[in-house]
């Protein structure tokens, strides 16, 4: 330990003499201002540069670190496709080869090429006389990161293990398990690593976990050393778990706290009679599925109770969530309350409104539409005695969230496609004066871990069954070369009276370009089908234009709708049976699943045609094959999550996952459950967080900006 080991986590980096002014500036530009900021930034991964071996000496079954030169690289196929690199160590005989194989990691193909030097870590297996490593960790050795030295280490002696006392920063980059950090602009990888090393060496022996300590049995100080400069992989793993647990706990604790605050919170007693609901059900040409009935019953029980409802309604695309929500709204209205539904887009609000108007036409229920563009109070005109507080169903966009528009006498708020709004907006409703019941709906199913993470403060109802009257959906992957046959097929469907969506991934870099490409797509289809009426829908149309385009398509006046992803969510035209998606590989899986959900909504057999130039084995193609394989939205969500990570699937900003360092824990159910249990145990024992050792937790929940810390 250095003699001046006095640093505390809260100390400012600017106090330290060994950081140059230039580095300090770069660090602070990336929000590193204190010792904690640096030390709590855990490595993205590690590289074991300790024991590199000659390829010629590799043995089946051992896990090794290798310095290799890539001789060739390409796609292979045996029982499944994989990307293979054949490599050897410089200075070794040409025949000493090892074959690195990556399965289900198509991005690797984009990174590796013949001639590169790479460092590799993984388990050697012998297949058919070849030494192979499946899915190894690897790094491309670039100039900065001591490429030369690495090769030397591979060939020759291994420098002695540095110790904590040894502040010679030269031995922290090689010949050990080396931490690899996410890049910080203006600070080289080496100098950031050196900075961490120095800070650790000068850290006061008294340093403990900031705030609440999630794992007191494993000293925080030790965990810091283990996470940055582990002596063994096990140590790094253990330390990462500790930090991931802290993050997970922090998140689960906040959610558990919220849940306890809202659970049992006084709310309104509604849904005591169901005349309207029965009337609606009688008028439907079908009956609710068992799953829908169960969900309605769960929601009703919440509404009848004197506590506020906070419930999430999950279900696959087309499972009939909207109808369940309407049932709940009727229950509220019958109890003399207003019910509001908030949709993420104008199109959807209009659609819900029209849909409800049709469903409720024989019934004595008031219905209004409120969006930023228009207010449609049909009964306001019809009835001179109109009063704002009369119970009604209001459908709107987020404009409804603003205070001046917030409905009076609100008994139930339904929020459609919650993740487009975000947690803060949901809370606006939950906390609005009247304590309305709140029902949240998701557009796409989300993986279970994310449900717990994002909606852990809500009770959950799942519609796990599709209505029986649905026509089959066939999904096919086609290349543009097969267009002739596709067009012939489209013709037969049009002749049978069906309708068609054609969707393109218009990247709206500029307004004019987006319009131009939508327009040229329209021109193209007009040429192909000169006798059909074709509509065009894109985001730049005004609300009225969008509405009239949708009305024409819904009524069957236009047969083909050329669109951007505006039709992605919720649009409901049961007569449409073909969804043709151009450049399908440009979309995310969940988005494609949503688009496919636009067809198969009636009794006709439907066809989702995924057009893609992606070749067999390319990343985009594998993704599309998932869609061909399954119609199950929950399965697709898991896959999307695995391929893109939670941030990209949900949008980090809205989902509140922006600051998450350990995205991998999001797929680790055990960690989430442990954090969940720990949080519950604390709140059981100390519900108001009055004990001194829970002060940091109190800070965490009492301030929206999370001043309390957890380590």
The site for Mg ion (CB under 5 A) is made up of 322, 570
Burial class (CB in 10 A: 0-12, 13-18, 19+), 318: buried
Q: How many CB atoms lie within 10 A of CB 12?
A: 12
Strands 310-315 and 338-342 turn out to be: unpaired
| Binding residue for ligand ADP, selected from 211, 320, 436, 633, defined by CB under 6 A | 320
DSSP string, 76-122: EESSSEEEEEEEE-TTS-TT--EEEEESS-THHHHH--TT-EEEEEE
Q: Tell me the Ramachandran region of residue 211: left when phi exceeds 0, alpha when psi lies from -120 to 50, beta otherwise.
A: left
Q: Closer CB to Mg ion, residue 360 or residue 518? A: 360
The DSSP code for 443 is: S
Quote the tokens at residue 483.
Answer: 């267009």
By a kind-dependent CB cut-off of 5 to 8 A, residue 242 interacts, out of ligand ADP, Mg ion, none, with none
Q: How far apart are CA 527 and CA 529, in angstroms?
A: 6
Site string for ligand ADP, 248-287 (x = CB under 6 A): --------------------------------------x-
3-state secondary structure 545-607: HHHHHHHHHHCCCCCEEEECHHHCCCCCCCCEEEEEECCHHHCCHHHHHHHHCCCCCCCCCEE
By a kind-dependent CB cut-off of 5 to 8 A, residue 574 interacts, out of Mg ion, ligand ADP, none, with ligand ADP
Distance in Å, CB of 331 to ligand ADP, minimum = 17
| Binding residue for ligand ADP, selected from 13, 288, 414, 490, defined by CB under 6 A | 288
CA 256 to chain centre: 21
Please list every residue from 455 through 474 that binds ligand ADP, using CB under 6 A.
467, 469
Q: Closer CB to ligand ADP, residue 466 or residue 514? A: 466
Distance in Å, CB of 502 to Mg ion, minimum = 22
Q: Closer CB to ligand ADP, residue 158 or residue 466? A: 466
Q: Closer CB to Mg ion, residue 577 or residue 594? A: 594
By a kind-dependent CB cut-off of 5 to 8 A, residue 467 interacts, out of Mg ion, ligand ADP, none, with ligand ADP
By a kind-dependent CB cut-off of 5 to 8 A, residue 323 interacts, out of Mg ion, ligand ADP, none, with ligand ADP
Instruction: Give the CB-nearest residue to ligand ADP.
Output: 320
Size of the site for ligand ADP (CB under 6 A): 17
Partners of 690 in the β-ladder: none
Q: How far apart are CA 61 and CA 53, in angstroms?
A: 14
Q: Closer CB to ligand ADP, residue 164 or residue 472? A: 472
Q: Closer CB to Mg ion, residue 151 or residue 348? A: 348
By a kind-dependent CB cut-off of 5 to 8 A, residue 320 interacts, out of Mg ion, ligand ADP, none, with ligand ADP
Q: Closer CB to Mg ion, residue 43 or residue 315? A: 315
Please list every residue from 322 through 381 that binds ligand ADP, using CB under 6 A.
322-323
DSSP string, 152-200: HHHHS--PPPP-SS---GGGGSSSSEEEEPPPBTTB-HHHHHHHHHHHH
Distance in Å, CB of 598 to Mg ion, minimum = 11
Distance in Å, CB of 125 to Mg ion, minimum = 48
Q: Closer CB to ligand ADP, residue 311 or residue 321? A: 321
Helix (H, G, I), strand (E, B) or coil at 448: helix
Q: How far apart are CA 560 and CA 579, in angstroms?
A: 10
Please list every residue from 298 through 317 that binds ligand ADP, using CB under 6 A.
315, 317
Q: How far apart are CA 27 and CA 216, in angstroms?
A: 31
Distance in Å, CB of 636 to ligand ADP, minimum = 14
Q: Closer CB to ligand ADP, residue 177 or residue 573? A: 573
Q: Closer CB to ligand ADP, residue 201 or residue 322? A: 322
For 388-404, letters b (16+ CB in 10 Å) and e give eeebbbbbbbbbbbeee
Distance in Å, CB of 321 to ligand ADP, minimum = 4
Distance in Å, CB of 154 to ligand ADP, minimum = 56
Strands 410-415 and 338-342 turn out to be: parallel
Q: How far apart are CA 245 and CA 671, in angstroms?
A: 6
Q: How many CB atoms lie within 10 A of CB 100?
A: 26
Please list every residue from 586 through 605 that binds ligand ADP, using CB under 6 A.
601
Residues 6+ away with beta carbon under 8 Å from 160 = 171
Burial class (CB in 10 A: 0-12, 13-18, 19+), 45: middle
DSSP string, 610-624: EE--PPTTSHHHHHH
Tell me the angle at which helices 669-685 and 448-455 cross, rounded to the nearest 10 degrees: 30
Q: Closer CB to Mg ion, residue 490 or residue 569? A: 569
Please list every residue from 560 through 579 that binds ligand ADP, using CB under 6 A.
572, 574
Q: Tell me the Ramachandran region of residue 135: left when phi exceeds 0, alpha when psi lies from -120 to 50, beta otherwise.
A: left
Distance in Å, CB of 567 to ligand ADP, minimum = 13
Distance in Å, CB of 254 to Mg ion, minimum = 29
By a kind-dependent CB cut-off of 5 to 8 A, residue 106 interacts, out of Mg ion, ligand ADP, none, with none
| Binding residue for ligand ADP, selected from 132, 252, 254, 292, defined by CB under 6 A | 292
By a kind-dependent CB cut-off of 5 to 8 A, residue 136 interacts, out of ligand ADP, Mg ion, none, with none
Distance in Å, CB of 323 to ligand ADP, minimum = 4
Q: Closer CB to ligand ADP, residue 318 or residue 646? A: 318
Distance in Å, CB of 572 to ligand ADP, minimum = 5
Q: Are 503 and 582 in contact (CB under 8 A)?
A: yes
**C-alpha to C-alpha distances, 466 to 351, 569, 605, nearest whole angstrom:** 21, 17, 15
318 forms part of the interface with ligand ADP (CB under 6 A): yes
Q: How far apart are CA 699 and CA 690, in angstroms?
A: 11
By a kind-dependent CB cut-off of 5 to 8 A, residue 288 interacts, out of ligand ADP, Mg ion, none, with ligand ADP
Please list every residue from 111 through 150 that binds ligand ADP, using CB under 6 A.
none
Quote the tokens at residue 541.
Answer: 């149309």
Distance in Å, CB of 574 to ligand ADP, minimum = 6
Q: How far apart are CA 640 and CA 646, in angstroms?
A: 9
CA 658 to chain centre: 11
Site string for ligand ADP, 528-567 (x = CB under 6 A): ----------------------------------------
Q: Closer CB to ligand ADP, residue 240 or residue 321? A: 321
Q: Closer CB to ligand ADP, residue 196 or residue 288? A: 288
Quote the tokens at residue 689.
Answer: 């967080």
Distance in Å, CB of 66 to ligand ADP, minimum = 51
Q: Closer CB to Mg ion, residue 66 or residue 569? A: 569
Phi and psi of 70, rounded to 5°?
A: -80, 120
By a kind-dependent CB cut-off of 5 to 8 A, residue 373 interacts, out of ligand ADP, Mg ion, none, with none
Q: Closer CB to ligand ADP, residue 319 or residue 499? A: 319
Strands 410-415 and 393-396 turn out to be: unpaired
Binding site for ligand ADP (CB under 6 A): 286, 288-289, 292, 315, 317-323, 467, 469, 572, 574, 601
């Amino acid at each position: 330990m250095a003699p001046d080991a006095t640093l505390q986590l809260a100390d400012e980096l600017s106090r330290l003499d060994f950081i140059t002014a230039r580095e300090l500036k770069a660090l602070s530009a990336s929000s590193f201002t204190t010792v904690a900021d640096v030390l709590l930034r855990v490595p993205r991964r590690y590289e074991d540069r300790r024991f590199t071996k000659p390829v010629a000496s590799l043995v089946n079954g051992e896990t090794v670190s290798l310095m290799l030169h890539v001789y060739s690289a390409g796609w292979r196929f045996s029982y499944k496709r994989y990307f293979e690199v054949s490599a050897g160590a410089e200075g070794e005989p040409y025949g000493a080869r090892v074959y690195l194989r990556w399965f289900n990691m198509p991005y690797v193909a984009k990174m590796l090429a013949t001639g590169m030097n790479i460092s590799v870590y993984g388990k050697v297996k012998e297949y058919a006389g070849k030494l192979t490593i499946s899915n190894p960790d690897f790094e491309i050795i670039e100039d900065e990161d001591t490429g030369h030295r690495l090769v030397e280490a591979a060939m020759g002696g291994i420098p002695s293990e540095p110790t904590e006392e040894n502040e010679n920063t030269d031995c922290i980059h090689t010949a050990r398990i080396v931490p690899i950090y996410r890049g910080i602009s203006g600070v080289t990888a080496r100098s950031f690593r050196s900075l961490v090393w120095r800070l650790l060496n000068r850290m006061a022996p008294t340093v403990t976990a900031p705030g609440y300590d999630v794992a007191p049995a494993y000293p925080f100080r030790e965990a810091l050393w283990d996470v940055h400069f582990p002596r063994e992989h096990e140590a790094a793993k253990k330390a990462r778990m500790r930090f991931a647990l802290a993050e997970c706990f922090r998140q689960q604790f906040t959610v558990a706290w919220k849940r306890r605050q809202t659970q049992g919170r006084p709310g309104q007693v509604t849904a005591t009679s169901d005349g309207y609901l029965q009337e609606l059900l009688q008028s439907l040409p079908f009956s609710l599925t068992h799953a829908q009935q169960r969900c309605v019953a769960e929601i009703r029980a919440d509404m009848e109770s004197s506590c506020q409802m906070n419930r999430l309604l999950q279900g696959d695309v087309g499972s009939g969530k909207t109808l369940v929500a309407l049932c709940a709204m009727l229950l509220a209205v019958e109890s003399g309350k207003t019910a509001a539904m908030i949709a993420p887009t104008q199109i959807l609000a209009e659609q819900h409104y029209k849909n409800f108007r049709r469903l409720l036409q024989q019934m004595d229920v008031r219905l209004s539409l409120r969006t930023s563009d228009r207010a449609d109070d049909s009964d306001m005109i019809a009835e001179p005695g109109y009063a704002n507080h009369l119970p009604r169903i209001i459908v709107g966009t987020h404009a409804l969230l603003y205070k001046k528009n917030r409905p009076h006498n609100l008994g139930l708020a339904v929020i459609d496609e919650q993740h487009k709004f975000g947690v803060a907006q949901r809370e606006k409703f939950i906390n609005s004066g009247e304590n309305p019941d709140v029902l949240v709906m998701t557009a796409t199913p989300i993986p279970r871990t994310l449900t717990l993470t994002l909606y852990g403060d809500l009770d959950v109802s799942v519609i796990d069954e599709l209505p029986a009257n649905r026509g089959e959906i066939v999904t096919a992957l086609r290349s543009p070369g097969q267009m002739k046959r596709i067009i012939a097929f489209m013709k037969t469907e049009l002749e049978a009276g069906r309708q068609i969506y054609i969707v393109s991934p218009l990247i709206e870099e500029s307004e004019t370009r987006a319009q131009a490409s939508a327009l040229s797509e329209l021109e193209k289809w007009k040429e192909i089908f000169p006798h059909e009426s074709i509509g065009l829908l894109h985001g730049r149309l005004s609300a009225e234009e969008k509405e009239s385009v949708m009305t024409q398509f819904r009524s069957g006046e236009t047969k083909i709708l050329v669109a951007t992803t505006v039709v992605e969510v919720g649009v409901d035209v049961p007569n449409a049976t073909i969804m043709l998606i151009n450049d399908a590989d440009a979309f995310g899986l969940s988005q494609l699943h949503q688009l496919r959900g636009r067809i198969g909504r009636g009794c006709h057999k439907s066809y989702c045609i995924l057009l893609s130039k992606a070749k067999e084995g390319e990343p985009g193609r594998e993704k599309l094959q998932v869609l061909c394989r399954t119609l199950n939205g929950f399965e697709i969500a898991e896959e999307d999550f695995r391929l893109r990570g939670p941030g990209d699937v949900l949008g980090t900003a809205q989902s509140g996952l922006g600051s998450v360092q350990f995205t991998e824990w999001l797929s680790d159910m055990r960690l989430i459950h442990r954090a969940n249990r720990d949080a519950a145990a604390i709140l059981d024992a100390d519900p108001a967080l009055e004990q001194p050792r829970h002060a940091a937790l109190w800070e965490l929940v009492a301030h929206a900006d999370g001043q309390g810390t957890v380590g």
